[in-house]
Every structure is written in structure tokens, then in C-alpha cells.
A and B are shown apart, each in its own frame.
Chain A
Amino acid sequence: MEEMMTKLFSYLQLPFVRYAVIVGVLIALCASLLGVNLVLKRFSFIGDGLSHVAFGAVAVAGVTGLTNNMLVVLPITVLSAILLLCTGSNAKIKGDAAVGMISVSALAVGYILMNQNKSLTNVSGDVCTTLFGSTSILTLTPTDVWMCAVLSLVVVACYVLFYHKIFAVTFDENFARATGTKVSVYTLVIAVIIAVIIVVAMNLVGSLLISALVIFPALSAMRVFKSFRSVTVCAAVVSVVCALFGIIFSILVNTPVGATIVVVDMIAFAVFYVIGLMKGGAK
């Protein structure tokens, strides 16, 4: 045990490990806040879908030879998020089907472009990195960390300021619109925030992890808590704690970071599920 602690502290001396911990925790926090809304709106897989869109956009950027991917990736992803979320309940193709459609299309186009692009030598390696984030969380620069910190702050601030509006719009869109809430404006705000989180998170932790960060904390919290506020707070806490444990654990026993965080989230869900059963109330 003591040996483990020494190992942990010696690792925490390393800047890149500290960066990974900070960024992982911040992203976990942001993703879980919006996760509650996405899960309730039946958009659990939007994280996955949008990150595939971002993958396609990365491919486009690669082919067109742009040095700064963000210029292509961010607008395309934001646009997709707006398309998915703002058409709302009146769309002809909606929810899971719309997310699925956009996601596979972007994946396919992106892969073809990467495949045909002769300047890339390691296609399957690149694809794998984009999808699973591999070890990129351990190669962060201070700029990445600062950007992520500022962005998280903005997201959390927006969420707190718009909290009641987000609740009203998520719980009953028609009522909100009928009583004069500018539903489309707030949906747009939510969509943009989600897209930004996903683009940033994808670069850092990979697209698999995003879905887990969006879905698991919200579901865990909903097992036990019954008001929107308590569910939101609980989801945020669960997410941060799981991310922290996951990162530390993966450092100690040398497992892949993203996958480890997902497994910790799974365990947390199981614990909350049991607590929910014991309390007897939650469905």
C-alpha cells in the first residue's frame, strides 16, 4: 500500500500526469452536467454521434491540408449539433435515428477521405486514435490545459445561469414555448455548448469516453435522487470522483486511461443501482 502511494506521488510530480488529472476532471464535470438533459431528451448517443462528425471533419481538414484542425472541426460539429437538437420534437427524423444517421455518414466519409489520402501512412492507427483517444490525455500541453480550464468555467457558468431555463425547456418544451420562453434560443445555446465540449473532449480523451461521461453519471444519479437539482449535483460529483479514481487507478496499474474511467463509471452505476433498489423508491 505504502509502495503504491509513493508511486502515485512520484507520478503526480510529473507535469503531464497533473495535466491529465486536471483536464480529465474538468471534462467529466462538463459532460455530466449536460448529460442529465441529453439522457432525458433521448439523446444519450449524441456524444458518440458528434464525435464521429468531428472525426469526419478531421479527415476533411487533413485532405485539404489545413494546419489548424479546429477551424474545420468546430464549425462542422456545432452545425451538426444544432441540426440534431434544434429541429426538436417536430422533426421527421429524430432522436436516435437522426444521431445514428449523421454519425455513420460522417464516419464513412471521413474514413474514405483518410483512406484515399496518400500523405497519411498509418491510416488504421489514426482511426484508432481518433476513436479511442488512446494515450493523448497524457500528452497534453499547458495551452491545452488552460484552454480546457477556461472552457469548463464558461460551460459551468452558462449552466448555472441558464439552469432554470434548461429545466423548463427540457421538461416541457411546448409549455415553455406557449408561455413565452424563447425555447429555440436556449436550445441553440445548449447545442453549441454540447458541441464545444465534445470537440474539446474528443481531442483529449477520445470519443468512446465521451458517451460514457455523458450517460453514466446521469443514469447513476437518477437511480437514487428525485429532484432535478439533486440529480444534477449528484451526477457532477459522481462524474468527477469516477474520473479522478479512473485516472489514478490507470496510472498505478498501467491500464488505458479512457477505458479505466468507463469501468469505474460502470461500478459506480452498479453501486447506485443497488442503493436505489434498497431505497425502494426509484424506478
Chain B
Amino acid sequence: MSQLICHNLSVGYEGKKIISDLSFHVDAGDYLCIVGKNGSGKTTLMKTLLGLHKPMKGEVRAGEGLTLNTIGYLPQQTLVQRDFPASVREIVLSGFQGRCGLRPFYTKEEKKTAAQNLQRMGIRHLEKRCYRELSGGQQQRVLLARALCATQRMLLLDEPVSGLDPKVTADMYELIERLNREDGITVIMISHDIEAALKYATHILHIGDTLFFGTRRQFLDSKSGRLLVGGKGAAV
């Protein structure tokens, strides 16, 4: 059984349909890249997967002990966060909020896990620093550590490398790959970067005029895949 199944899903907002009749599934340990042009509905799809938007038709189902609430989410940065006074530790701990329910404070266990996640992201030394003073790459690591606090199994990443320089981008991709390979965390990533998608992903979901879902190999052989890769001249 798959961790996440979308069946005949149509998504959109304010009554406008953006993607219709999309079906795909994600198994444990997969690395799925969602690619497509700006405005093709990638972020809307992700918000639907997370339950922030209601699907217009069809359904999103979670399986294998995963519930939709235990998906870790790395959103794009918002304006509010840019001048928010918060320490790295406070932000990472807030990843546990979903499982707190009415409990007002964090447990020792949660604090320990948060510290471990900071370690995993290589930013333990930044624990007491102010979020807004960190570099773009460091901020993304903080948000990734927070997402890890919310999940053990699946991460949804919305353009995790946008605005980062090439070196930091490469580090970020490596970090995500390690989480996928070594810790067995399922990754669903929205990306503009088709080259990186083809380098790391096991599965590709292409959204646009033509919908495509399949493994990386199948994508390369498909029409939309050939078009995209051929256009960029990327060697794979």
C-alpha cells in the first residue's frame, strides 16, 4: 500500500480548476519531484495534499500509518517571517505543535528530538541565534529541521532552493538526498530545476498541458520529458 494516494484529483481555488483528473501515488522511500511551469498549479496541488485547500474533485488518501497531519512541510518563506524575532530553537520546537493538542508546553523528549534534528541539519551551533539574521541557506535548514520535528516519514518541500546560490543549493540537495536515502524519509519536492529533479528523484510528476506521472526512466522516454530535457540539452 502507498503512503499517499491521489485519485482523480482536481485542484484549484476560488472555483477555478487548475489541474483536473490527476492520479498518482507515493510509496515509502520514494523521491518524487513535481515539475511544471509557473502557474501550472504546483503549489496549489501541494496545499491540497496538505489539506490547506479542499480538493475540488477526487480524493487525497494517506496510508501505511501516515496521516495527513504528520507530513512535514517546508513552505516558501513569507513576508511576516522576514522580520520575526524568533530564535532558531523556538522555531524548530514549533514543529511539534501539531501533536501537542491542548498540552501547553513541550516535553523533554521533544526538546531532545529538536536538538537532534538541529544536529542532523548541521546547525546545532545556531540554536540560540535569531532567525532573521541567518543566511538564506541557514534559514532553509532551520525550517527543514522544524519539518522533521513534525514528521518521521514524509517531507513536502516547496521550492527548497529558490533564492539560494549554487553552492548552497548543491548542499541543500545533498542534505535532502541523505534524508531520503539514509533515513528513509519519503520526499515530495516542487522544483523549477529540472536538472536536479532528474538527478535526484526516483519519480517525476509533470503538471501542465500534459500530465505525466511515472519513474524517472519513464519520464525521460515520454514526450513531455524529451521535450523538457531536449530543450535544456541536459545530459542524464
Contact = CB atoms under 8 A, between A and B. Distances in A.
Interface of A: 40-42, 160-165, 167-168, 170-172, 174-181, 221-222, 225-229, 231, 281, 283
B218 to A, nearest CB: 30
Contacts of A42: 80
B186 to A, nearest CB: 16
Contacts of B83: 40, 222, 283
Given A161-B104, A178-B71, A229-B90, A171 B84 contact: yes
18 contacts: A41-B80, A161-B104, A165-B100, A168-B97, A171-B86, A174-B50, A176-B94, A176-B97, A177-B51, A178-B73, A179-B73, A180-B99, A221-B85, A226-B85, A227-B86, A227-B87, A231-B85, A283-B83
Contacts of B47: 174
Given A281-B133, A283-B132, A174 B75 contact: yes
B75 A171 contact: no
B153 interface: no
Interface centre among A170, A177, A178 (most CB of B within 10 A): A178
Contacts of B75: 172, 174-175, 178
Contacts of B89: 227
A176 B93 CA distance: 12
Interface string B87-127: 10111011101111000111000000000000000000000
Contact of A281 (B94, B106, B130): B130
B210 interface: no
Contacts of A180: 69-70, 98-99
Contacts of A174: 47, 50, 52, 73, 75, 78
A40 B98 CA distance: 22
B90 A227 contact: yes
A228 B98 contact: no
Contact of A177 (B52, B90, B104, B132): B52
Nearest to B93: A164
B117 to A, nearest CB: 14
B86 A181 contact: no
A176 B94 CA distance: 8
Contact of A175 (B93, B99, B130, B146): B146
Contact of B81 (A172, A177, A181): A172
B209 to A, nearest CB: 28
A161 B75 CA distance: 27
Nearest to B51: A178
Given A179-B150, A226-B130, 6 more contacts: A168-B97, A175-B94, A176-B98, A178-B50, A179-B69, A226-B87
Main DSSP-derived SS at the A contact region: helix
A76 to B, nearest CB: 28
Interface string B39-81: 0000000010011100000000000000001111101001011
Contacts of A171: 80-81, 84, 86, 91, 94
A190 to B, nearest CB: 15
A164 B86 contact: no
A221 B130 CA distance: 14
A172 B86 CA distance: 12
Contacts of A172: 75, 78, 81, 94
A179 B98 CA distance: 5
Contacts of A41: 80
A161 B103 CA distance: 8
A228 B85 contact: yes
Contact of A162 (B84, B104, B106, B133): B104
A262 B153 CA distance: 52
A175 B73 contact: yes
A231 B130 CA distance: 12
B95 A226 contact: no
A222 B83 CA distance: 9
A161 B115 CA distance: 23
Contacts of A222: 83, 85
Nearest to B85: A231
A250 to B, nearest CB: 31
A167 B104 contact: no
Nearest to A177: B52
B236 to A, nearest CB: 33
B87 A228 contact: yes
A252 B44 CA distance: 61
Given A40-B80, A171-B91, A181 B85 contact: no
A132 to B, nearest CB: 31
